[in-house]
């Protein structure tokens, strides 16, 4: 890989122009550099996507599936290189970078499989006498080119969740990676260039956020798929109400420890999982555990366990294979997290452990007795911070989960099947995980939230449906 990665305009590399360096959040070392496309090149990418839309939509499922499988295989073959690039530009420990690469291999493979299955359905219409001899074929067709705007926290797999379903349905994709972490997406462009997809089917534009409004406003990009902050996401939706906009905007995910989850083994398991997944990716995941609602009956037994589990997490250099908690994406992000925790403590919260910043690193913090109006409770921290809240019974716990602007996923630690089904019925979230943390995600399942957590769904089949619309073909005089 060259020191300066090219931008990708309509599938072609652009190697000359303004360059920007990317540094590692942990030690400030230069990871690499990339070419920034000009505004004219951005327009060229969009024009190419618009021009190729019909050709790409009419390609065979086999051709699109093979392109996706090629990407899956090549990511697997280059897995160590890609994981190290993710760690370099994002700062996430190699442990999690390797896991992300493995997920991206699966994401593209699932997209290939779904491309082959995305065939529509036949409906009999002769259920009424007036429609005798009629049938309908219902298929889905792309709205048109997709603008995918990806965040920094998963610079490969959340890019994959934009690119893979678009290719699967035959929709051109114009990808804008996060300015903090563009290198991994550009390497993915290198792999995409090895496929035989028509020219213009995809572009990777490492441009600044100031260029994003130009892209979102362009009517040649009728679908916008955005993952990122609530403020930006809803601003996009408001600016282009005529477009099909999907938003994954994060949340302040809760884990509920129910009264029946009370054995030593149960509590040890819950403490370990919650400690790990409150702090993996340095807490910079939309479904990292932020609030832990602990029933009063198990509070005294659980709290020291989870504090000990957090303190036992290996922290430090992301290049150390043993590190679980590395730096945040920038020192500014760590400063903000530090300020929020300090505000909570000043308001009366108890800091049980952690809460020390060193540059972009922040030792995992556990808080109790936090007033409900504090940012660490009611906003998305997006950092290594865990808030413990005492609740009395399942009703109180579920009401507390729902007392939030957000609704992405919730974990419910229970053995009671009735409680599990109640959680599925009553919790105002996009997903409920029973017996584990809310951070679990299988890449093929529908994934997304309600309320301020967004609209639409990721997960290959779900995203493919978001990128397409139903078109009905009615046949007459058919011998049914």
Q: Tell me which residues are annotated as active site.
A: 248, 286
| Cα–Cα separations (whole angstroms), residue 236 to 9, 158, 167, 245, 259 | 24, 19, 23, 8, 43
**Which of 204, 158, 208, 212 is CA-nearest to residue 183?**
204
Lateral strand order in the sheet of 7-9: 12-14, 7-9, 202-204, 173-176, 146-149, 223-227, 244-248, 454-455
Residue in the block written with tokens 């990292």:
288
Is residue 272 classed as helix, strand or coil in its secondary structure?
A: helix
User: HEC string of 148-180?
Assistant: EECCCCCCCHHHHHHHHHHHHHCCCEEEECCCC
Secondary structure percentages of the chain, helix, strand, coil, to 5? 40, 20, 35
Strands, E assignment, 129-270: 135-142, 146-149, 173-176, 202-204, 223-227, 244-248, 254-257
* Distance between CA atoms of residues 145 and 207, nearest Å: 18
> Do the strands 121-124 and 135-142 form a parallel or antiparallel pair, or are they unpaired?
antiparallel
Query: Residue 253's Cα: distance from chain center in Å?
Result: 14
> Tokens at residue 299, please?
């509070």
Token pair listed for 440: 């679990």
Among 140, 111, 328, which Cα is nearest to 223's? Answer: 140
Q: How many CB atoms lie within 10 A of CB 26?
A: 22
Q: What is the distance between the alpha carbons of residues 410 and 422, in angstroms, rounded to a whole number?
A: 13
Torsion of the alpha carbons at 9, 15, 19 and 24, rounded to the nearest 10: 90
- The three-state secondary structure class of 219 is coil
Neighbours of 124 (CB within 10 A): 11
Rounded to an integer, what distance in angstroms lies between the CA atom of residue 395 and that of residue 169?
43
* Residue 314: partners with Cβ closer than 8 Å, 6 or more residues away: 320, 322, 323, 324, 325
Task: Give the phi and the psi of residue 104 in degrees, each rounded to 5.
Answer: -65, -35
């Amino acid at each position: 890989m060259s020191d300066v990665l090219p931008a990708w305009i309509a599938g072609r590399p652009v190697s000359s122009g303004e360059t920007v360096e990317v540094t590692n959040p942990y030690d400030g070392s230069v990871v690499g550099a990339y070419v920034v496309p000009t505004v004219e090149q951005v327009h060229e990418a969009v024009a190419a996507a618009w021009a190729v839309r019909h050709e790409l939509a009419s390609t065979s499922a086999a051709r699109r599936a093979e392109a996706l499988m090629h990407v899956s295989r090549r990511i697997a073959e280059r897995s160590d290189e890609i994981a190290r690039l993710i760690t370099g530009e994002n700062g996430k420990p190699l442990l999690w970078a390797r896991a992300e690469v493995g997920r991206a291999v699966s994401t593209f493979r699932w997209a290939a499989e779904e491309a082959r299955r995305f065939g529509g359905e036949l409906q009999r219409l002769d259920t009424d006498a007036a429609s005798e001899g009629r049938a309908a074929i219902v298929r889905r067709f792309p709205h048109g080119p997709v603008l995918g705007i990806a965040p920094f926290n998963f610079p490969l797999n959340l890019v994959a969740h934009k690119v893979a379903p678009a290719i699967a349905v035959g929709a051109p994709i114009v990808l804008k990676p996060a300015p903090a972490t563009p290198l991994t997406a550009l390497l993915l462009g290198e792999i995409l260039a090895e496929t035989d997809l028509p020219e213009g089917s995809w572009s990777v534009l490492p441009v600044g956020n100031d260029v994003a409004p130009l892209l979102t406003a362009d009517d040649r990009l009728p679908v916008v798929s955005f993952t990122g902050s609530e403020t930006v996401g809803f601003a996009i939706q408001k600016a282009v109400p005529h477009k099909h906009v999907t938003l994954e905007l994060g949340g302040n995910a809760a884990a509920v420890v129910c009264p029946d989850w009370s054995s030593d083994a149960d509590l040890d398991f819950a403490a370990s999982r919650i400690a790990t997944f409150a702090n993996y990716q340095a807490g910079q995941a939309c479904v990292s555990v932020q609030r832990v609602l602990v029933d009063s009956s198990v509070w005294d037994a659980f709290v020291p366990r989870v504090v000990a589990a957090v303190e036992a997490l290996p922290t430090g250099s992301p290049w150390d294979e043993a590190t679980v908690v590395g730096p945040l994406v920038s020192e500014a992000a760590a400063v903000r997290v530090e300020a929020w925790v300090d505000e909570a403590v000043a308001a009366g919260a108890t800091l049980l452990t952690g809460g020390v910043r060193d540059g972009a690193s922040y030792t995992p913090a556990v808080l109790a007795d936090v007033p409900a109006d504090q940012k660490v409770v009611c906003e998305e921290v997006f950092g290594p911070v865990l808030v413990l809240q005492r609740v009395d019974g399942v009703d109180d716990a579920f009401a507390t989960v729902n007392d939030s602007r957000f609704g992405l996923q919730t974990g419910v630690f229970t053995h009671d099947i009735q409680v599990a089904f109640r959680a599925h019925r009553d919790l105002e979230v996009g997903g409920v995980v029973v017996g584990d943390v809310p951070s679990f995600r299988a890449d093929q399942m529908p994934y997304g939230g309600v309320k301020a957590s967004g609209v639409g769904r990721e997960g290959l089949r779900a995203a493919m449906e978001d990128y397409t619309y139903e078109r009905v073909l009615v046949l007459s005089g058919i011998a049914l």
